[in-house]
A and B are shown apart, each in its own frame.
Chain A
Amino acid sequence: MWTYDKKLQYPVKIKNPNPKLAQIIISQLGGPDGEMGASMRYLNQRYSMPYNEVTGILTDIGTEELAHLEMVAAILHQLTRNLKEEEIAGTPFATYFVDHTTGVYPVAASGVPFDMKYVGVKGDIVADLHEDMAAEQKARVTYDNILRLCDDPDVLDPIKYLRQREIVHYQRFGDALRITQDHLNSKNFYAFNPSFDKGMKKT
């Protein structure tokens, strides 16, 4: 089970509202490579993992992703505070505003609501860990793209922090994959089905 820690993992303090920027950053909440997908991916994959190290890594990274979800939501909330109508009308944020006002709703920057289709749970340790490593790289690229489109230092700071975490998570998933492959014997050198077939693991 979970309990809530009443703090952000890293501070978010944005002076100037900027709904256009929020419209872009929202992809890291409910987009294809966003934090909601990340947390759901890892926390749902845990159950079929045969090694404690891998179960532990998925549990703890999945939990950290929930903290990142909250940070992204905090950025969105602060970027859409105290808006005047003229700051909304005619901007890309207007289409979001008409449906959700300034509530925080998980959608992609393109406007597509969050979908569990973004999340792969194959029930196979090799397939799932490759999915996770790719997911971390895709999230890192999305943060790179946000950094290219953003020039507010108050926003850049937490976004850079979140980008760094993607890199660390990628490295830990790489460790998880190496630990998994260390368990395979010569009959299963190419890791074709380590989860289910007997006689494919080192004894």
Chain B
Amino acid sequence: MNRNETTKHDHTAMNKLRAIDFALQETVLFLDAYPENKQALHYYHQLLAQRRELIEELEHSGHPLTMYGNKSQTSWDWIRGPWPWEPDAN
């Protein structure tokens, strides 16, 4: 096994996830301060549904996002590069 194996990085999906996650981050910070705001809560759930779908897609194509997301039963993809701080992951 080549110990520094990399997975082909899916820039499109990752950038889409970054956009959704940034919107979620802003919404969560807003909800922390205004927990009664129904409009923000509704927006949060919309974003969350999009996020779930995208993560499912990413993880099934061998890009686990967290240590709980290694979908493959036969290979440990979690430690494959590129790592987030490498140019190829960005």
Contacts and interface: CB of A to CB of B under 8 A. Distances in A.
Interface residues of A, number: 13
Contacts of B78: 56
B81 A52 contact: yes
Interface in A1-27: 1, 3
B3 A55 contact: no
* Majority-rule SS of B interface residues: loop
Nearest to A183: B3
Q: Looking at A3, A46, A52, A53, which has the most chain B CB atoms within 10 Å of its CB?
A: A52
Contact of B67 (A46, A47, A60): A60
Q: Chain B: interface residue count, which band? A: 10 to 19
B57 interface: no
A51 interface: yes
Contact of A52 (B80, B84, B85): B80
B31 to A, nearest CB: 14
Contact of B79 (A3, A50, A56, A183): A56
B30 interface: no
Interface string A176-188: 0001000100000
A24 B84 CA distance: 38
Nearest to A49: B83
Contacts, number: 22
Contacts of A179: 3
A52 B67 contact: no
B44 to A, nearest CB: 14
Nearest to A60: B67
A15 B84 CA distance: 43
B5 interface: yes
Interface string A19-58: 0000000000000000000000000001100111101100
B4 interface: yes
Contacts of A50: 4
A55 B67 contact: no
B83 A55 contact: yes
14 contacts: A1-B84, A46-B83, A50-B4, A51-B3, A51-B4, A52-B3, A52-B5, A52-B79, A52-B81, A53-B3, A56-B79, A60-B67, A179-B3, A183-B3
Interface of B: 3-5, 66-67, 78-81, 83-85
Given A47-B85, A52-B81, 17 more contacts: A1-B84, A46-B83, A50-B4, A51-B4, A52-B3, A52-B4, A52-B5, A52-B79, A52-B80, A53-B3, A53-B79, A55-B83, A56-B78, A56-B79, A60-B67, A179-B3, A183-B3
